[in-house]
């Protein structure tokens, strides 16, 4: 099932000037220490090389979090915390302390974190940061994330199927993409929250291989849940 999936002409909700800003600027992702030597930061630098964020579709999904003017948006596994430059009221945390991160604080997302921060945030997002698990643990991971936001708040998830495959039994990992999509559709159909956005870019002809340069951000599947 597809719900409010991304298209090239999709409106970027709540931020009328965002399209123009995206056209003029792309942030770089640092992958190695050597990348610190990159001095050129002009708009669209290394666009085709896949070494930065700035793909319009990921902004499209984030915009859905802002329909109700959230005053606190938690970015779980924020990495460099770059989205704080683009969207208001974001607090980012990441488990890894490095010279690259601008996280507001360092922490690990687990059951203890979810319990300690119950309903603390208006909205949240986790861009390919909650999928270091088995396929049969996805539903539990989703609930841990939804627990930290308030009722009627929204949470954006992006998952990389390849990453989940690494931690899953062979019967899951070796399944075809259609089977994996059907399985996740079943999980989302059973959650108690409303599915506001559900998008599988691979169904638009974007293969895992073609997505490889930016799977670390955008993911194979993207969905937004509204807490009930």
Does residue 111 lie within any of the structural domains?
Answer: yes
Does residue 13 lie within any of the structural domains?
Answer: no
- Angstrom distances, CA of residue 54 to CA of 24, 51, 74, 105, 119: 10, 10, 20, 24, 30
- Mean local confidence (pLDDT), 68-80: 94
What percentage of the chain carries pLDDT values higher than 70?
A: 78
**For residue range 189-224, what is the model confidence (pLDDT) as tens digits?**
999 999 999 999 877 765 554 554 444 456 789 999
What phi, psi does 198 have (nearest 5°)?
-145, 120
Does residue 90 lie within any of the structural domains?
Answer: yes
**For residue range 81-111, what is the model confidence (pLDDT) as tens digits?**
888 989 999 999 999 877 566 889 999 999 9
Does residue 141 lie within any of the structural domains?
Answer: yes
CATH number at residue 127: 3.40.50.150
**For residue range 151-193, what is the model confidence (pLDDT) as tens digits?**
999 999 998 888 888 888 887 788 888 888 999 999 999 999 9
Q: What is the DSSP string of 87-110?
A: STTEEEEES---SS---SEE---S
What pLDDT band is residue 50 in, cutting at 50, 70 and 90?
Answer: very low
How many angstroms separate the CA atoms of 18 and 23, rounded? 9
Does residue 12 lie within any of the structural domains?
Answer: no
Contact call for residues 52 and 27 (beta carbons, < 8 A): yes
The pLDDT of residue 28 is above 60 = no
Among the listed ranges 20-29, 115-124, 133-142, 165-174, which one has the minimum average pLDDT value?
20-29
How many angstroms separate the CA atoms of 100 and 140, rounded? 30
Does residue 209 lie within any of the structural domains?
Answer: yes
Please tell me the total count of domains within the chain.
Answer: 1
The pLDDT of residue 56 is above 90 = no
Contact call for residues 149 and 155 (beta carbons, < 8 A): yes
Pairing of strands 123-127, 154-159: parallel
Residue 205: its pLDDT value, please? Answer: 64
- Angstrom distances, CA of residue 197 to CA of 62, 100, 200: 11, 31, 10
Q: Which residue range forms the structural domain that includes residue 133?
A: 18-226
Does residue 200 lie within any of the structural domains?
Answer: yes
Residue 182: its H or E element? helix 177-190
């Amino acid at each position: 099932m597809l719900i409010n999936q991304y298209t090239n002409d999709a409106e970027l909700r709540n931020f009328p000037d965002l399209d123009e800003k995206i056209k003029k600027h792309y942030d770089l992702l640092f992958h190695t220490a050597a990348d610190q030597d990159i001095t050129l930061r002009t708009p669209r630098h290394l666009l085709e090389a896949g070494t930065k964020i700035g793909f319009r579709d990921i902004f499209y999904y984030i915009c859905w979090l802002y329909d109700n003017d959230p005053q606190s948006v938690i970015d779980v596994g924020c990495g460099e915390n770059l989205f704080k430059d683009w969207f208001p009221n974001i607090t980012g945390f990441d488990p890894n302390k490095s010279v690259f991160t601008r996280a507001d604080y360092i922490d690990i997302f687990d059951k203890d974190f979810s319990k300690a921060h119950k309903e603390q945030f208006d909205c949240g997002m986790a861009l390919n940061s909650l999928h270091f698990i088995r396929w049969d643990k996805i539903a539990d991971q989703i609930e841990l994330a939804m627990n930290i936001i308030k009722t009627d708040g929204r949470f954006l998830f992006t998952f990389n199927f390849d990453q989940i495959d690494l931690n899953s039994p062979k019967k899951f990992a070796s399944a075809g993409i259609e089977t994996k999509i059907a399985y996740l559709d079943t999980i989302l159909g059973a959650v108690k929250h409303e599915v506001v956005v559900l998008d599988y870019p691979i169904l638009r002809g974007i293969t895992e291989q073609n997505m490889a340069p930016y799977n670390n951000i955008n993911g194979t599947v993207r969905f937004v849940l509204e807490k009930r």
